Amino acid sequence: MKYLKTDAAPAAAGPYSQGICAGRTIYVSGQLPLKDGVLAPNITEATNASLNHVVSIAKAGGGKKEDIVKCLVFITDMNDFQEMNAAYAHFFGEHKPARSCIQVAGLPKGAVLEIEAIAVLNRLCPSPTSY
């Protein structure tokens, strides 16, 4: 198992890691749409910011966008679903990971969404390290 950490995504704000690589699988913790500590102002920008963080963490484990097999989107207002879905579809293009989208009552820092992901590598994770 390897703990993943990158400066290209917000630091973990609690007793968890940005991600874990175990075997051939990368588990990315939920990513808020933060840029320089500021929340993205709308659902499209929030979707892109969170997905960019997810990919940055996957890259820290030796993965890439096309290795993502599952995303879980937490959204605070299902009225934003179509706009989020359009941004998500544009971000991934022809690659279509499995996905769930769940409306929640609230998210940390008042974010409009949070996205977590699972990626599968075609090789074992890099050697274990800690931070």
Catalytic residues: 101
φ and ψ at residue 69, rounded to 5 degrees:
-110, -15
Amino acid letter, 32: L
58 secondary structure, DSSP code? H
Round to whole Å and give the CA distance between 109 and 74.
Answer: 14
